[in-house]
Amino acid sequence: MESAISSPLSTSSHLLPSPYRSSLGSRSQSFPSLQNLRHPSFKSRCFFGVPFRSRQTQPIRCQSSNQQPAKDDGFVIEDVPHLTDFLSNLPSYPNPLKQSQAYAVVKQTFVSTDDVVAQKVVVQKDDPRGVHFRRAGPREKVYFKSDEVRACIVTCGGLCPGINTVIREIVCGLNYMYGVEDILGIEGGYRGFYSKNTLRLTPKVVNDIHKRGGTFLRTSRGGHDTNKIVDNIQDRGINQVYIIGGDGTQKGAALIYKEVEKRGLQVAVAGIPKTIDNDIAVIDKSFGFDTAVEEAQRAINAAHVEVESVENGVGIVKLMGRYSGFIALYATLASRDVDCCLVPESPFYLEGRGGLFEFVEERLKENGHVVIVLAEGAGQEYVAQEMQVVDGKDASGNKLLLDVGLWLTEKIKDHFTKVQKMAINMKYIDPTYMIRAIPSNASDNIYCTLLAQSAVHGAMAGFSGFTVGPVNSRHAYIPISRVTETQNTVNLTDRMWARLLASTNQPSFLEGNALHERVDKEDVDVINHNMRATSI
């Protein structure tokens, strides 16, 4: 799958070229005036009369009204495809929301075609304006007649709180806002397109599914066969596809869109990104994350109660976080009962000065107990070395993780009983599946509603091959390649990690080669300076 262009763009001294070619399609087009644009299609344009550059195209410069080249202020838009990019004669229709009783109270029902959302909200005076995304929301024109829409919804990958809420709100949004009645549920993930029967979805059928954990439509990993899936979409007459899933699922959604475009089908493909680990790039956070952090508090509290009630109690709580330690980080900050948090992004070591064993011993002497929160992806290299295992992957292509919680439990036991000759009471809690399987909380329920409705508005407006999510608290339509090209991870040079270290008063474990391997090269000098300034 093509990924977004990540290299910096050079500036151009030329005026706006015409015709001009987009990188996501092979079409050429001339640029009419902004007032004459027929629809908000997948075209980089001049917004607000200021110049911008697009990551999808060669940099362009807009011409000011006095015919003098305008100053290049680094405005970049990363746009998403539109059905009219490959179906040029596609008719549009007035949006049914014009007659909606609910939206009658809204001062501005429709989002302007020129509305964009800035990826970077904090800038300095002379900084470039930077990357922007198209704002999500209802458009004045739609490209589907309500009674001709046949939509389908599929959920793929692991479980996460809030999936059922997203399903429910897509169904209700299509029905209540746009009058769509033909909605299918694809059962069992991507395989369900060609190996399972579909389920007819109505507001009545999905009325209370948000109160349950898991996914009403069931799920699976892998099973993606682009041609078979698009064949099924075509055979069933489906023209809107809503895909709920994580990194691998969204990559699959991008392939489906490309095949739809290749065949020239009027099918809108909308992705709703899902991961409990909060490791999706660009967006503020993923749905289910707030619920996961809240539920993790129960496990941490249980561990704290257990170890506080015995002599030399050591509690280890293993939380989710394959490559990103956000759940462990936020749960630790929220709890205030945690003595040490270990995440995949930050190396740690057991023995020697400044190691974990020394820290645990000091806390036991000081408080009589210690609580350690451990992300499942932390310390995997140590476990693998000792167990001498061959790397394996699941059906989604994710690396199979070893149980670092049990490994660390045994290591601490052996050290204190055999080396330190010190009796400890070890308590190990792994609430992984308890956290994944619960319904979403109030905060995530509201968030899921916004995601679902934004996806519905985008598909009805003719956008396709996009994913949706909040960027600086404003929902936007984002190219799928931008949320799958990299994973969001805990930044060890960020203030949030510093807040955790200050809260737990734990060692950073950043020494020597480990420091240089785990942080960005440009941050090394800053960290070294801080470590020298704070060293004893």
Q: Which residues are catalytic?
A: 277
249 is in an annotated binding site: yes
Task: Quote the CA–CA distance of 358 and 355 in Å, as a whole number.
Answer: 6
355 is in an annotated binding site: no
Task: Quote the CA–CA distance of 212 and 165 in Å, as a whole number.
Answer: 9
Task: Quote the CA–CA distance of 244 and 249 in Å, as a whole number.
Answer: 7
Tell me how far the alpha carbon of residue 278 is from its chain's centroid.
Answer: 6
237 is in an annotated binding site: no
Structure token pair of residue 323:
């490559």
162 is in an annotated binding site: no
SS3 content of the chain, % helix, strand, coil (to 5): 35, 15, 45
304 DSSP 8-state letter: H
225 is in an annotated binding site: no
Task: Quote the CA–CA distance of 429 and 413 in Å, as a whole number.
Answer: 15
460 is in an annotated binding site: no
Strand extents, DSSP E, 406-445:
425-429
Task: Quote the CA–CA distance of 257 and 265 in Å, as a whole number.
Answer: 10
Structure token pair of residue 171:
């169904």
- 479: enclosing H helix or E strand: strand 474-479
275 is in an annotated binding site: yes
Task: Quote the CA–CA distance of 350 and 515 in Å, as a whole number.
Answer: 16
- CB distance 54 to 48 below 8 Å: no
Strands 183-186 and 198-200, sheet pairing:
antiparallel
Three-state secondary structure of 81-97: CEHHHCCCCCCCEECHH
Task: Quote the CA–CA distance of 154 and 527 in Å, as a whole number.
Answer: 45
246 is in an annotated binding site: yes
322 is in an annotated binding site: yes
435 is in an annotated binding site: yes
Structure token pair of residue 443:
């905060």
Task: Quote the CA–CA distance of 117 and 58 in Å, as a whole number.
Answer: 21
- Please list, in sequence order, all residues whose beta carbon lies within 8 angstroms of the beta carbon of residue 529, skipping any fewer than 6 positions away: none
Examine residue 19 and say whether the peptide bond preceding it is cis (omega within 30 degrees of 0): yes
- CB distance 200 to 476 below 8 Å: no
178 is in an annotated binding site: no
158 is in an annotated binding site: yes
130 is in an annotated binding site: no
376 is in an annotated binding site: yes
- CB distance 475 to 287 below 8 Å: no
Structure token pair of residue 405:
């919680």
436 is in an annotated binding site: yes
- CB distance 321 to 376 below 8 Å: yes
Binding-site residue set for ATP: 158, 221-222, 246-249
Can you say which residues are annotated as belonging to the binding site for Mg(2+)? 247
Mark the binding-site residues, compressed into ranges.
Answer: 158, 221-222, 246-249, 275-277, 320-322, 376, 433-436
Q: Can you say which residues are annotated as belonging to the binding site for substrate?
A: 275-277, 320-322, 376, 433-436
